[in-house]
Each structure stands twice: as structure tokens, then as C-alpha cells.
Amino acid sequence: MRGVVPLILALSGMLASCVTVNVYFPAAAAEQAADRIIDTVTSSSSESGASQGDSAKRPAQGPTSHLAPRHSAVPASDGTRDASPILLVAAGRVLDLLVPAAYAQGNANIDISTPEIRAVTASMQKRFPQLEKYFASGAIGLTNDGLIEIRDQNAVPLAERAQVKRLVSEDNADRTTLYAEIAKANGHPEWEPDIRRTFARRWIERGAKPGWYYKDASGNWVQK
């Protein structure tokens, strides 16, 4: 049994290391965060960022530890020490790591309450009324990568074209910053592409009104 104990402890360490590095993108939480920001941006209310205050990141609390109780070793009939209590403790420690990690994954939150995220959201909300009429006319549309684009320049009066070009450029800069800041605020910069894809889908599904244009997966303009 002496050779089994180090093996169990080694396996416990390996499992623990897997739990700490294998962090999945919380898609459902990201979608809820995207919806809150989209609702804020597209709202005519002056309460910019009010809905974001409720989305402050809350630390996930796992269940109470169920570490196996320690037992004193009982001499075995062959004169060796019984390793069963040690194995139980090792197994308990592995479960103690695995269960809270799984619980945290299932109850993840996306933090959208940082000053940087609030500032860029407020900037987009302030600009949205100016963009809305161009969405309605079909002059601009939503892309499939979370940005906006001029779709039909002829739908814009000549005197307004420079302004529309500037508005689109500024909004895209804010959108790009927003996705990167959300990923950064949650400690996972590598989530930025996933955040962007989530927002791209929700801008179309939730933010766009009937009659607005968006690009489908093939890059073709489609009217909602």
C-alpha cells in the first residue's frame, strides 16, 4: 500500500491542476451582459449605465467543503499501516477542488461595471440617436463581427455623408474597445473573440429593429 499513496497524491495534484487551468467561456452570462449593454445603448433614457450597476461581478461561492474526515491509522493484520484513511482524504481533497470549480462555472457572472466599460457604453448611448435614422433608412447596417458599416451611401444626403462616415468610425472604435475591455475586466483577454461573437449575434437579434439591415454569416446584407 505504500506505493499506492504517492500515486493517489500525484493523481490528485494532476486533477487539481486541470481544474485551475480549464476555464470555459461563460456563454450564457456573456449573452446576458450583452443584452444589458445593448438595452442601455439603444434606450432613450438618460440613465446611462444604471442597468449595469446590477451586473457587478459577484464572486462565485461554492458549496461547503466535504473533505473526508481524518482518521488515525489502524494497524493492519499484516503489521503495515492501513492506507484507506489517507486515500479517503486524498479523494476528498480532489472532490473539494472539483465541485466548487464546477459550481463556479455554472454560476459565472460577466463584469460590465468597470469605469472603462461604463464610459464606452455611455459614449455609444449618446451617439445612438444620431445613428438610428440611418439604420432605419438602410444607409448603414450591422455586420457579423459586432461592428456597423455603411451599406448604401446613396441613402444618405450628400451634406450628411461625412458625418455618417465619422459616426460609423467612432462607433466601431467604441465597439472594439468595449469587447476588449469586457474580456480584460473579467481577467481573460483571450475571451475577446467570444465576447465579440456574442455581441454580434445579440446586436442583430435584440438590438436591430424590423427593417434594419445586417450581414449574415456569408457576408450578404439581409433585412430583418
Look up the pTM and report it.
0.67
> Can you give the pLDDT at residue 116?
98
**Percent of the residues in the chain that have a pLDDT greater than 70, as a whole number:** 61
The answer to whether position 10 is within a domain reads no
Residue 128 above 60 pLDDT? yes
The answer to whether position 133 is within a domain reads yes
> Can you give the pLDDT at residue 71?
44
Q: How confident is the model at residue 99 (pLDDT cuts 50, 70, 90)?
A: very low
The answer to whether position 74 is within a domain reads no
Predicted confidence (pLDDT) per residue in 18-72, tens digit:
444 457 999 999 999 999 999 999 996 444 444 444 433 343 333 333 334 444 4
> Do residues 100 and 63 make contact, with C-beta atoms less than 8 angstroms apart?
yes
Q: How many domains does the chain have?
A: 1
> Can you give the pLDDT at residue 10?
56
> Can you give the pLDDT at residue 102?
44
Closest CA to 108 of 27, 19, 184, 37: 27
The answer to whether position 193 is within a domain reads yes
The answer to whether position 157 is within a domain reads yes
Distances, alpha carbon 72 to alpha carbons 20, 27, 75, 82, 138, in Å: 31, 46, 10, 9, 76
The 8-class DSSP code of residue 222 comes to E
Helix or strand holding residue 70 (H, E)? none
Predicted confidence (pLDDT) per residue in 129-178, tens digit:
999 999 999 999 999 999 999 999 999 999 999 999 999 999 999 999 99
The answer to whether position 196 is within a domain reads yes
Q: What CA–CA distance (Å, rounded) separates 217 from 197?
A: 11
The answer to whether position 23 is within a domain reads no
Neighbours of 10 (CB within 10 A): 11
The answer to whether position 187 is within a domain reads yes
Domain boundaries, position 121: 115-223
Instruction: Answer left, alpha or beta for residue 109, where phi above 0 means left and psi between -120 and 50 means alpha.
Output: beta
